[in-house]
Amino acid sequence: MADPWPALVPELAVTDWKVSRDFYRDALGFTVAYERPDEGFACLRSGDAVLMVDQIGLGRTFVPAPFEAPLGRGINLQIRVARLGPILGAIGQAGIAPFLPLEENW
Protein backbone atom coordinates (compact mmCIF):
# COMPACT_ATOMS: atom_id res chain seq x y z
CA MET A 1 0.00 0.00 0.00
CA ALA A 2 1.52 3.32 -1.06
CA ASP A 3 -0.25 5.36 1.62
CA PRO A 4 -0.22 3.82 5.12
CA TRP A 5 -3.77 5.09 5.72
CA PRO A 6 -6.70 4.54 3.32
CA ALA A 7 -8.63 7.52 2.01
CA LEU A 8 -11.86 6.15 3.55
CA VAL A 9 -12.08 4.37 6.92
CA PRO A 10 -15.54 3.35 8.18
CA GLU A 11 -16.27 3.74 11.89
CA LEU A 12 -19.00 1.37 13.06
CA ALA A 13 -21.18 2.15 16.08
CA VAL A 14 -21.45 -1.05 18.15
CA THR A 15 -23.07 -2.13 21.41
CA ASP A 16 -19.95 -3.94 22.71
CA TRP A 17 -16.59 -2.91 21.30
CA LYS A 18 -14.74 -5.90 22.76
CA VAL A 19 -17.12 -8.42 21.16
CA SER A 20 -16.83 -6.57 17.84
CA ARG A 21 -13.03 -6.29 18.10
CA ASP A 22 -12.73 -9.98 18.93
CA PHE A 23 -14.98 -10.97 15.99
CA TYR A 24 -12.99 -8.96 13.45
CA ARG A 25 -9.69 -10.12 14.95
CA ASP A 26 -10.40 -13.78 15.72
CA ALA A 27 -12.94 -14.74 13.04
CA LEU A 28 -11.98 -12.42 10.18
CA GLY A 29 -8.22 -12.22 10.77
CA PHE A 30 -7.87 -8.48 11.37
CA THR A 31 -5.13 -7.16 13.64
CA VAL A 32 -5.64 -4.42 16.19
CA ALA A 33 -3.81 -1.31 14.97
CA TYR A 34 -4.64 0.55 18.18
CA GLU A 35 -7.41 0.82 20.74
CA ARG A 36 -8.70 3.13 23.43
CA PRO A 37 -10.44 0.84 25.96
CA ASP A 38 -11.65 3.71 28.15
CA GLU A 39 -13.57 5.04 25.13
CA GLY A 40 -14.73 1.64 23.86
CA PHE A 41 -12.82 2.10 20.61
CA ALA A 42 -10.61 -0.06 18.40
CA CYS A 43 -9.01 0.45 15.01
CA LEU A 44 -8.50 -2.79 13.08
CA ARG A 45 -6.54 -3.60 9.95
CA SER A 46 -6.42 -6.44 7.44
CA GLY A 47 -4.03 -5.80 4.57
CA ASP A 48 -5.17 -2.55 2.95
CA ALA A 49 -8.53 -2.63 4.75
CA VAL A 50 -9.04 -0.54 7.90
CA LEU A 51 -12.13 -0.13 10.02
CA MET A 52 -12.96 1.24 13.43
CA VAL A 53 -15.48 0.08 16.05
CA ASP A 54 -16.83 2.52 18.61
CA GLN A 55 -19.10 1.52 21.49
CA ILE A 56 -22.29 3.52 21.80
CA GLY A 57 -22.37 5.48 25.06
CA LEU A 58 -18.62 5.33 25.82
CA GLY A 59 -16.40 8.24 24.88
CA ARG A 60 -17.78 10.31 22.04
CA THR A 61 -21.01 9.05 20.51
CA PHE A 62 -22.40 10.64 17.38
CA VAL A 63 -26.18 10.23 17.38
CA PRO A 64 -27.60 11.06 13.94
CA ALA A 65 -30.68 8.90 14.60
CA PRO A 66 -31.93 6.48 17.26
CA PHE A 67 -29.72 3.41 17.66
CA GLU A 68 -31.96 0.39 17.12
CA ALA A 69 -31.00 -3.21 16.44
CA PRO A 70 -29.87 -4.39 14.05
CA LEU A 71 -27.21 -1.72 13.77
CA GLY A 72 -25.51 -1.19 10.42
CA ARG A 73 -28.62 -1.37 8.29
CA GLY A 74 -27.98 -0.12 4.79
CA ILE A 75 -24.22 -0.61 4.80
CA ASN A 76 -22.31 -3.21 2.84
CA LEU A 77 -18.60 -3.71 3.54
CA GLN A 78 -16.56 -5.55 0.94
CA ILE A 79 -13.18 -6.70 2.24
CA ARG A 80 -10.61 -8.39 0.00
CA VAL A 81 -9.01 -11.39 1.73
CA ALA A 82 -6.21 -13.76 0.74
CA ARG A 83 -8.07 -16.95 1.74
CA LEU A 84 -11.80 -17.25 2.34
CA GLY A 85 -11.86 -20.84 3.66
CA PRO A 86 -10.37 -20.15 7.11
CA ILE A 87 -12.70 -17.18 7.60
CA LEU A 88 -15.79 -19.23 6.70
CA GLY A 89 -14.62 -21.93 9.12
CA ALA A 90 -14.11 -19.42 11.94
CA ILE A 91 -17.47 -17.71 11.51
CA GLY A 92 -19.17 -21.11 11.19
CA GLN A 93 -17.64 -22.17 14.52
CA ALA A 94 -18.98 -18.93 15.99
CA GLY A 95 -22.48 -19.94 14.83
CA ILE A 96 -22.67 -17.28 12.11
CA ALA A 97 -23.90 -18.08 8.61
CA PRO A 98 -23.52 -15.81 5.58
CA PHE A 99 -26.68 -13.77 4.99
CA LEU A 100 -26.51 -14.38 1.23
CA PRO A 101 -24.99 -17.25 -0.73
CA LEU A 102 -21.38 -16.66 -1.69
CA GLU A 103 -20.82 -15.45 -5.23
CA GLU A 104 -18.13 -13.91 -7.37
CA ASN A 105 -19.31 -11.01 -9.54
CA TRP A 106 -17.09 -9.03 -11.88
pLDDT tens-place string over residues 11-65: 999 999 999 999 999 999 999 999 999 999 999 999 889 999 999 888 777 777 7
Residue 106 has pLDDT above 80, yes or no: no
pTM: 0.81
Q: Please name which of 86, 102, 103, 104 lies closest in space to residue 94, comparing C-alpha atoms.
A: 86
Burial class (CB in 10 A: 0-12, 13-18, 19+), 20: buried
Mean of pLDDT values over 61-70: 75
Q: 3: pLDDT confidence band, cut at 50, 70 and 90?
A: low
Domains by residue range for the chain, with CATH: 11-93 (3.10.180.10)
Q: What radius of gyration, in Å, describes the C-alpha atoms of the chain?
A: 15
Q: Please name which of 39, 41, 44, 38 lies closest in space to residue 23, comparing C-alpha atoms.
A: 44
Distance CA 58, CA 38 (A): 8
pLDDT score recorded for residue 1: 45
Angle at CA 18, nearest 5°, toward 17 and 21? 80
Higher pLDDT, 17 or 102: 17
Which of helix, strand or coil describes residue 70?
coil
Residue 97 has pLDDT above 80, yes or no: yes
